[in-house]
A and B are shown apart, each in its own frame.
Chain A
Amino acid sequence: MNFKENILLALAGLKANKMRAFLTMLGIIIGISSVIMITTMGTIVEKGLAGVVTDLGVNNLVEIFIRQKEDSVRTTIEESDMFSDEIIEQLMTRFSGELQYIAIQQSVGGGTMRFNREDINMTVYGYNSDFIHIFSTDLLRGRYINEKDIQGQKSVCVIPDDLALKLYGSPENAIGEILSMNVAGGVKEFAVVGVYKYKQSAFGGVFSRNYDIHIPITTARKMINASPYYSWVDFITYEDVDVIKFSEEFGEYVNERYYKDNNSYEVMCYTMAEQLTSISQYVGIIQGVLSIIAGISLLVGGIGVMNIMLVSVTERTREIGVRKALGAPNSAIRIQFIVESVIICAIGGLIGIIAGVLLGNLGGLLFDTSAVPSVGAIVIAVSFSMAIGIFFGYYPANRAAKLDPIEALRYE
C-alpha cells in the first residue's frame, strides 16, 4: 500500500464527510492562523516601527515639554512659563557634550493652491536649520533651510518630491520656481530652494495626501505674528549617549534651574526610545496572548482530531476486518489512519495559514503596510500541523491496526 493510494483514500473519506472534516479541522485552523497572525503582526509592527525610526531619527531624540504642576495655581500658560531662545542657547552650551542638534518648529497651518483644476492641500511648517538632521530624509535636489534664511526671514521653501513632480515635472525643474499659495489669510510666494524625498509615515496612509512645506522658522513666525517661545523642544543627542538615562538628568536639571520658582509649570522629558520599548512590549503581550490561544487551540484541535479518528476507526471496524482478511499487515492499517489524520491536519494548517495571513494583514491596514509570512514560517506551520496529525492520529491508528480481524469482521 503506497502513499499515493493512502492519500487518495483519505481524501475520498474526507470528501464523503465534508462537514465533519471541517469541524474537526477548526481547532487546527484557529491554532495555525493564530501562529501565522503572530508572525505576520510581528513583521508588520517591525516594519512600522522601522519606518518611525528612520522618519525622525528618533533613537537619539529627547523631547522636553512643559506641563502643569500637581499643585499649580494657574491654568493658563504665559510666555514666562515657556522656553525661550535664550534658555535653549544656555542648555545647548551646558550640555554641549551630549546635545548635538535642536529642532524647533512653528506650525503655520494649512495652505492651498489650484493647479490644473485641482485643489492641492499643503501644511506649512517653520523649521530651524538643524531640522534636516532630525527629519532624516534624503534631500534630492537643492539645499535645506540655512542660517541665512533664518536670519533674513527669507521667503524660501523646501518641498516634497511628489509635489515637485506634480507641479514642475521633476525635482530638478522645481529649484528656483516660485510656489504661490493661499496661507495664513493671504497669497504668499516662496522660492523653492530644495526638494526632499517624501517617505510615507507609518500611520499616514489612511489619510489623503497632504504635502508638508518647510519654510524658515522666522518667516513662519512673522506670517502669523507668533512670539519666539516654545512649549516643547526636540533635542537630538550624540549617538553614544544613553538617551533614557540622559533624559532623566536633563529634565531634573531644567526643573532645578528654570522652574524651581514657577508656581504652576514644570518640564517633562520624553524619549522615543522609551516609547518604542513600550510599543514592543505591548506587541509582545499581544503576541504572547495569541501564542497561548494558538497553543490551546492546537491542543484542543489535536484532541478533536484524535476523537474523530477514534470515531472513524469504530465506524470502519468492519472495513478494517476486510482489509486484514485481504492481507493488509497491521502497519498498512496504521499508516492508512495516520495519513488520514495528517491530511486533516495539513489541510487545516493550510486553511489556517490563509486565514492568518488575511487577519494579520487586516491589522496591517492600520500601519499601511502588508506582510506575507516567509516560506520558512509556512513550512514550519504545515510541518507542525502534520506533526500534530501524527501525534494525535497515532493512538487511534494503532488501535485500528491492533484490531482482531475476526472481531472486526463480526462487528455490526
Chain B
Amino acid sequence: MSIDKKAIIKMDSIYKRFYIGTPNELEILHGLSFDVPDGEFVSIVGASGSGKSTLMNIIGALDKATEGNYHLGGTNISLLNDRELSEIRNKKIGFVFQTFNLIARTTALKNVELPMLYAGMGSKERIKRAKELLELVEMSDRAMHMPNELSGGQKQRIAIARSMANNPSIILADEPTGALDSKTGHLVMDIFHKLHKEQGKTIVLITHNQKLAAETDRIITLSDGNIVSDEKMSGNAVYTLNETVKEEKPETESHDESVILTDKTSGKDGQ
C-alpha cells in the first residue's frame, strides 16, 4: 500500500536450482525480484508446481536461494549459518501450513508454547502468552485438547496462534485454507485480516483461491518460476470482515458453531 514504508522483504534476482545428480539441474525459480513493504498483506497465486512453496521456503529462511540476495528486515539471509537461521525462523517468522502440522499428542496450549520454548522464555510467561493467543483465535476452551480431538478449522486456528507466539514481523501461510471447506476457510481468513488490520502484521499468503487473494493488498502471480503479474489491489476490492461473512453465509450468526458443524459433516479433518 504505502510505498514510503520500509521493505521488510527484499528479493533480488533469486534463483533456485535443484541438482538431481549432475549434470541434471532443475531450475525452479528463475531470478525473482520483488519487495514487500512492512505491514503489507500479499498473496502469491499460481498453478501447482509453479514454485510458490519453494519461494515461500526461501522467504521463511527454511531454505537458501541458489543465487541472488534475500534481505529480511535488513539482514542478508544468504549469509547466515544454521543456528542464525533457526533464530530468524523462531523470532521473525510465523509459519502456517496447509496441513496444520500441529505436534501430535501435545495439547493445543503446548503447541502454541513451542516457539516460545525454543526462544527460551520462562514457563509462566509462556503459558500466559499462549493463553492470550488462544483467546485471540477464539480457542481458549480447547487449550487442553490434543490435535486429534480438533476439527480442521480449529487446528488451523491453533496453528495461527502458534505462528504468532514470538510476535514475528511476518506470517507466512502456505495454502492455509487448502484443506478446509470454504466456510471454514473464510473464518481462517478473518483471523489473518484481523492480525493484519489490528496488529499490522506483514502476511504472505499462498492460495489457489482467487476470491481470497482478491481480499488482500497485492497479488503476485507465479508461472513456471517467473513472476508474470504483480498487482496492487485498489481500495474498493479491499476486504471488509462483515461483508464477506454475510456474503458467504447470510443465515448464520455464530461463526464457531458453523465451523464445527461444517467440519464434522464434510469430514475434512486432515492433520
Contact = CB atoms under 8 A, between A and B. Distances in A.
A322 interface: yes
B151 interface: no
Contacts of B87: 327, 329
A405 interface: yes
A12 B162 CA distance: 21
- Size category of the A interface is 20 to 34
B154 interface: no
A388 B56 CA distance: 41
A326 B83 contact: no
Contacts of B89: 324-327
Contacts of A318: 101
Interface in B212-246: none
B117 A406 contact: no
Given A5-B117, A327-B118, A330-B82, A322 B62 contact: no
Tell me the dominant secondary structure on chain A's binding face: helix
Nearest to B60: A325
A332 interface: yes
Contacts of A328: 86, 90, 118
Nearest to B83: A329
A324 B95 CA distance: 11
B103 interface: yes
Of the four ranges (under 10, 10 to 19, 20 to 34, 35 or more), the interface on chain B belongs to 20 to 34
B12 interface: no
A322 B63 CA distance: 14
Interface of A: 1-2, 5, 9, 12-13, 16, 318-319, 321-330, 332, 405-406, 409
Given A319-B103, A326-B90, A327-B87, 14 more contacts: A1-B117, A1-B118, A2-B117, A12-B105, A16-B105, A322-B101, A323-B114, A325-B60, A325-B101, A326-B89, A326-B115, A328-B86, A330-B86, A409-B62
29 contacts: A1-B117, A2-B117, A5-B117, A9-B106, A12-B106, A16-B105, A319-B104, A323-B114, A323-B118, A324-B62, A324-B86, A324-B89, A325-B60, A325-B62, A325-B95, A325-B101, A326-B162, A327-B86, A327-B90, A327-B91, A327-B118, A327-B119, A327-B166, A328-B90, A329-B118, A406-B57, A406-B62, A406-B63, A409-B62
Interface of B: 57, 60, 62-63, 82-83, 86-87, 89-91, 95, 97, 101, 103-106, 114-115, 117-119, 162, 166
